Chains A and B, each alone.
Chain A
Amino acid sequence: MILAIFISHHALFAQRNSCIECHQELEDELLAPVETFQLDIHQQFGLSCVDCHGGNASEEDMDLAKDESFKGIPKRSQIPDFCASCHSDSSYMRHYNPSLRVDQLAIYWTSEHGQLFKKKDTRVAVCTDCHGTHGIQAATHPKSWTFPWNIPQTCSRCHSDKEYMKGYKIPTNQWEEYKESVHAHALFEKKDLSAPVCNDCHGNHGASPPEVTSIAYVCHQCHPSAGELFSQSPHKKAYDEMGISECEACHGNHKILPPSDEMLGTGERAVCIQCHEPDSEPYQIASRIKEKLDEFIEKIRHAENLLERADRQGVEVSEPKFRLTEANTALIFVRNLTHSFSLVEIEEKIEEGEKIVVEVTEAGENALREARFRKTGLIIATLFIFLLAIALFLKIKQIDRKTST
């Protein structure tokens, strides 16, 4: 009876898949689906070839397998609807992944890609261009084309192809620029998955170029403090009136380099001079902010240098070193405060930090004095010991002579 149950179980569940059986015998692009489908998320959820392509996989004969339900390879123009036939069906999707959104197609139609697609431009991205075909992985899988550190390459497959993008009249250097950005560094070097990639600013299924005002909102998600300070600054109104995007105007877009103090003030690399005339009041304020900041940094470096010298000379300075981190924290605050462009607020914060730096500098000078004291003490003590040793040596010689005689 157990044997009967075992056999019937196999008879029921060990259904054949003639699609795979035949394609396994084929080569190149006809074999590829079989190989890549092994890792496909649909396969992991128990779906098989017929769930997308139709047909009857239990039939050995190819003609019988390709019955009236067989859909074959969908045309490129059919792909969004082809995928959406399941992915937009909430009752169907609930069986497999209830938390997955089902509005991708609806959002897609609002995107730049979707809009052009509707105008019969099938060169624009469709589902398979970003997700693949038979090797589709969940976006959380590190090898997925839509995993954060793969997204820039996924988008750049089309957007960096000058030939392909000809006719769309948009730049093709985004990927090259992004690679140099602070965000790319965070993503690729530090493996920080929260660093923004293409879809964080442009959207994914609803991909479109962000509006001037919305860029700032995207940046504010991770940089809320800088955003708030800027919003309260006089620049906000001026930028809005002139239609300049807030963050992008100074920091750029795809090539957002690590911010440096050189961006402030009136130097060659300062961004303030892009708009402000040399004799204007804002120009003077920018110059003063940079001056104050440089002075503060110089004082911190001096204190750091004193502590390092004392540390190298063996004096315990971990406490003042820890205290100095508070001055460095104040420096971070000050750098952030530059988004308010308020000289008064910046000066106040610098003053707070400078009090700490004065303390640390004093501790550093004391530590160096202590190091000098130790060395002097050592010289005196060693000299005394050696004199005593010489005296002892002479005494030993004298005793030895006396003993031998």
Chain B
Amino acid sequence: MKKALQNIYSYIDSRFKLSSLILFAKKKKVPEHRYSFWYYFGGICLFLFVIQVLTGILLLLYYTPSVDSAHESIQYIMSQVKFGWLMRSVHSWSANILIAAIFIHMFSSFFLKAYRSPRELTWITGFFLLLIFLLFGFSGYLLPWNELSFFATRVATDLAGTLPLIGSQIKSFILGGTEVSGATISRFFWLHIAILPLLTIIVLGIHVLLVQILGMSTPIGLGKKKVSEVPFFPNFILKDSLGWMLILALIGVLCVFFPWEVGQKADPFAPTPLGIKPEWYFTFMFTTLKIIPAHIFTLEGEILAIFGFMIGGFFWMLVPLLDRNAAKERKSPVFSTIGWIVFLYIVVMTALTYLLPGL
């Protein structure tokens, strides 16, 4: 038996050069210090993405992307398909936890200045991954075709339509027409299951490859001291797996006690229900748009806010190039302060959405 396994291994190894990969993994070291905890969120994101892919494929077996049957197929998955409720709930819950994990991973990398040279591209690809996963969330939210998702999509695309000059073109490109309709669900579906996964594989591939090539960054203050290192395999990977298991247990509890709702089927002719809001990770932008004055000087408040977010996002992406102190291994309190302001802004605005819904 042992000999047979060895034969199989040597057959594969001679063709795929596995031993060199194993050697790389064995040689690879990961710095260990008091901030090491934050490293594990990258692995958690990857683990949750794998869950997304697996459960997404299973959901595809029953889901039908059309106005007439999208909601019905979700209802069928939730009530008739064996373990369908579990697959959908795991997909939805892990999607939300994944977004939260990405935010944690992003802010921890920001505050530990992990973006500094030579890891600028790791940060930039990470930023693109955030955008991709936000798009995953946005497109996936509409697919059940329920009241909340329908009107939230309508509100969001109406906002895109307010942009000067190109607003209406962008809106009709997203929707496939002037209204959220069958064309929209079709577009969102293909975006969700084909275009975005393809983009993710490319960008995530580069991101993970960069992490492997460049290794994990050591925080600025600790760089000068002797930081101990542990082997990536098996020490780090086992600790990573421990985190994955805890996350898996959490998802299981959430799915059993709070299975993801199906909601009421969307009625395009019904008036927009009161208190409609997007998914929680968009609410900081949503609340900003709600509270911003209608006009600031001669400019329209909403448009100004949208441009503000676009410029802010662009600035955030270019942080590794702008933070010259961090690049020279010096502390950069200005960027740390900016990071805290952005973090608090997102937290406060998100909390306000739920604490003061009538804002």
A residues in contact (CB < 8 Å) with B: 314-319, 374-375, 377-378, 381-382, 385-386, 388-389, 392-393, 395-396, 399-400, 403
Task: Tell whether, in the assembled complex, residue B79 and residue A399 are in contact, meaning their CB atoms are under 8 Å apart.
Answer: no
Shortest CB–CB separation between residue A23 and chain B, in angstroms? 46
Q: Which residues of A contact B249 (CB under 8 A)?
A: 381-382, 385-386, 389
Given contacts A386-B249, A389-B245, A396-B242, contact A314 B258 (CB under 8 A): yes
In the complex, chain B residues 207-254 whose Cβ is within 8 Å of any chain A Cβ: 230-231, 234-235, 238-239, 241-242, 245-246, 248-249, 252-253
Task: Give 20 A-B contacts (CB < 8 Å), ordered by A residue.
Answer: A316-B79, A316-B259, A316-B262, A317-B79, A318-B75, A318-B262, A319-B79, A381-B249, A382-B253, A385-B249, A385-B252, A386-B249, A389-B246, A389-B249, A392-B238, A392-B242, A399-B235, A400-B230, A400-B235, A403-B235
Task: Tell whether, in the assembled complex, residue A378 and residue B235 are in contact, meaning their CB atoms are under 8 Å apart.
Answer: no
Chain B's interface size range is 20 to 34
Q: Is the interface of A mostly helix, strand, loop or mixed?
A: helix
Task: Tell whether, in the assembled complex, residue B258 and residue A399 are in contact, meaning their CB atoms are under 8 Å apart.
Answer: no
B residues in contact (CB < 8 Å) with A: 75, 78-79, 85-86, 230-231, 234-235, 238-239, 241-242, 245-246, 248-249, 252-253, 256-259, 262
Task: Tell whether, in the assembled complex, residue B245 and residue A392 are in contact, meaning their CB atoms are under 8 Å apart.
Answer: yes
Given contacts A316-B262, A318-B262, A385-B248, contact A396 B235 (CB under 8 A): yes
Q: Which residues of A contact B231 (CB under 8 A)?
A: 403
Q: Which residues of B contact A319 (CB under 8 A)?
A: 75, 79
Q: Which residues of B contact A375 (CB under 8 A)?
A: 256
| Residue in chain B with minimal CB distance to A375 | B256
Q: Which residues of B contact A385 (CB under 8 A)?
A: 245, 248-249, 252
CA distance A100 to B78 in the complex (A): 60
CA distance A392 to B238 in the complex (A): 7
Task: Tell whether, in the assembled complex, residue B245 and residue A399 are in contact, meaning their CB atoms are under 8 Å apart.
Answer: no
Task: Tell whether, in the assembled complex, residue A396 and residue B239 are in contact, meaning their CB atoms are under 8 Å apart.
Answer: yes
Q: Which residues of B contact A395 (CB under 8 A)?
A: 238
Shortest CB–CB separation between residue A383 and chain B, in angstroms? 10
| Residue in chain B with minimal CB distance to A314 | B259
Q: Which residues of A contact B256 (CB under 8 A)?
A: 314, 374-375, 377-378
Besides A314-B259, A319-B79, 5 other A-B contacts (C-beta < 8 A): A314-B257, A317-B79, A375-B256, A381-B252, A399-B238
CA distance A375 to B255 in the complex (A): 10
Contact of B234 among A382, A386, A389, A399 (CB under 8 A): A399
CA distance A392 to B78 in the complex (A): 34
Q: Which residues of B contact A377 (CB under 8 A)?
A: 256
CA distance A400 to B242 in the complex (A): 14
